[in-house]
Structure 1
């Protein structure tokens, strides 16, 4: 009997400790005076986001309600939502060396292989890839691409003019335009 009471007391202590820890995690933004919607027990804001037809509209609504910087919870993990352009400029441009690695999604965290691209690279590998890729997207290089993109757009407009007011699928043409722009840099082949 004594052992059963002791086990029950230990179980109750574990539950109380877990609930206290969970409550203190959910007070993360409150302690920092960061606004945001109230999280649901254990799920955070997952249930709210899963039950809306458009995730992005829910985020937009919260941004209107709570401002450009507010907090959400992925389960019990705090997450900042930032739409302040000046703040993002500071983080992604001026201090990008401090904010280079993103947390990998839970599903892909334990996967091996296929992690060599810029979006999944971490730390030094990310820096190396960024150093190699950056010169390709300089302002001067992007300006050099403008005539090539213009040629592709002219080819698409010529194709649109040939249709003579009939209904057509613009999405298919835009996909082909995208392919043409990409291929224009590799070899001059038009799909339109």
Structure 2
């Protein structure tokens, strides 16, 4: 008897989760999900299957970017070094490469020009700007996109600012952006300390 599968029989794909969500998700790695420590035991569709450490040691499904801290996998996936960007072509940079201006990581707002009635009432989150060669809109073009979702979030024409200047309340909290914001803060503190 074949068990009923919620993922339509396709099975989970660790490679898909890592590429699509830009997260270091590997079976057997330690994670902290929604404040609960656990271990990745598998994948279901585009989700993680995590066995939590707390009794009764349930295996639960989680979205790869929703309140997940990758404890073991952070050291495994190295993002390419940043590249200076002067609003020129990005085709030479590797996918996932953060864009820099004056040696500083850049943060910006997502592009909403395609919306007929964009929401202008709420405060928007800023994202770290990276290169993507697989932006899903406009036929897979090379674009400046958000680190947290480089396939679907294109960065807008608004002025990008150094990431360390973005207030905590305005920062994207997804793992890829959050890690790069922390990196930008650390680099800024190092520069301040060496200057004084």
Task: Give the TM-score of the pair, scaled to structure 1.
Answer: 0.26
Structure with the higher helix share, 1 or 2: 1
- Whose strand fraction is larger, Structure 1's or Structure 2's? 2
Question: TM-score scaled by structure 2?
Answer: 0.26
Larger relative contact order (CA 8 Å, sep ≥ 6): 2
Q: Which has the larger radius of gyration?
A: 1
